[in-house]
Each structure stands twice: as C-alpha cells, then as structure tokens.
Amino acid sequence: MKRFSIITVSLNEEESIRRTCESICSQEFDDYEWIVIDGGSTDRTLDILNEYGHKISHMSSEPDDGIYDAMNKGVERASGDYLVFMNAGDSFYDTRALGLVSEAPEKDILYGDFMCVAVDGRSFVKKFPDVLPKDFLVGNMLPHQASFFKRDLFARYGGYDTSYRIAGDYELFVRFLYANGASSWHVPHVVAVFGTDGISSDRAYKKLRRIENHRVRKRYFPWSLYGLKRIENELKIRFFNR
C-alpha cells in the first residue's frame, strides 16, 4: 500500500495541466500513486497527460456530473493511506512537499500552509494555526491542495456532496472535522500553490459561493446565523433558487 494517493481532476486544462504534472513527478518522496480523473477533455489535456503516463497509476476520461463527482471517482480508486487532491493547475510548493508531510504523526487530516498566486503574479502565503479553534470553520476554510485525508474517513463519513457546485470542499471539511470530530495535525510548511483563477474564485460564481457557504453554516453552525444577516442570506437563497 502506498503512503499517498494523489488525485488529479481535469477538464480542458491544456494551459495548466503540465504545471501540475511536473510538480507531482518531481517529488523527492515517491511513495505515492497518482490517479487522474478527466471529465472528457476535448483539447490537448489528454495528450499532455499521456506524456506522463509512466507515472500515472490510473487514468480515465469520461463525462461526469461535476468536479465533486470526479473527485469522488478518484476516492473510489485510491488505495493509499492518505489522499490529497492536486487538481489541474494546482501544484506542490517544492520537491520536498510530500516528504515533509510524510514525517507528520498519524492523524485523520494533515494540513499544511499554502501559497496563493493572483492572476497579476502577486502572491502571498497563508499560514494556519497548529490547533484549529472549535469555531475555526465558521468563517475559515482549509485548502484541499494542502490537506491530506485518511482514506477511511470517506468510508466512515461519505465523500463529497455533489449537490454543491463550488462549496463541496467546505462542506467536507466541516463534516469531517466539526460534525464527526476527526483529528488533525498542522504541517508547519508551505505545501501547495494554487491560483486565484479557479471556479471558486470566479466573480461570476461569487453569489453562488456565498449562498452555498451559507447553506453549510445553516446546517452545521445554525448558532452563527442571526439577525438581519441571516434574513438577507435566506432571501438570497430563495430568490436564487426560483
């Protein structure tokens, strides 16, 4: 059994998939399997992926029902101790990233720091606390690119909720850590890099992201919603879903 299962989800990512592939293949710690779930790309994504076929443990390309459906497919095929989702366009911070995470103690979720790169090239590092406060996830999020999940968490508590379009990551973290008390450990290193040009950062999806995040908080943190803000979000949800 491998230490890590790296899962990459892609769909028409010819401009960014090579960066992800190079990052994975350059890891000094090589006790991993690499699973690629492509949604049926029609550009050069598959041609580029095939260049790295000698490193890919499993690859499929077929239509899916969205990113979280594809990520669940990756979970089903994974056999490693820990799963990390390094989707097209994402990358490890450097060649030592997996090795540094491998030194962490056995916990349900291992999470590291990350670097965020804006479209204009500016970047910043986001660091997380060693111990997550009980209410941390009410207004914060952990990055799936820098988080490593024990595989049996998905068997115990289920996979990504495909009824979400862009907040499935948030819901999964809340369900694992808050609702079910999964243990966690902070890896005090920058582990991953990702850009601000993904779907969850797209201005066109800003309203949907706000609504879906509210839906998660309403389910798991109802005590955090109050007064005019709660009424405002409820009205937005009702109007959006008409």
The answer to which of 71-75, 98-102, 227-231 has the lowest mean pLDDT is 227-231
CA atoms within 13 A on the CB side of 89: 17
Q: Where are the domains positioned within the chain?
A: 4-201, 202-242
Residue-level pLDDT at 227: 45
Q: Is the pLDDT of residue 228 over 50?
A: no
Cα separation of 103 and 33, whole Å? 18
- The pLDDT value given to residue 240: 47
For residue 177, the 8-state DSSP code is I
Cα 31 to Cα 29: distance, rounded to the nearest angstrom: 6
Mean pLDDT of 163-169: 96
pLDDT digit string, tens, across residues 1-41: 799 999 999 999 999 999 999 999 999 999 999 999 999 99
**Closest by CA position to 147, among listed 24, 4, 32, 28:** 4
Measure the CA–CA gap between 37 and 40, rounded to whole angstroms: 9
Q: Which CATH architecture has domain 4-201?
A: Alpha-Beta Complex (3.90)
Specify the pTM: 0.91
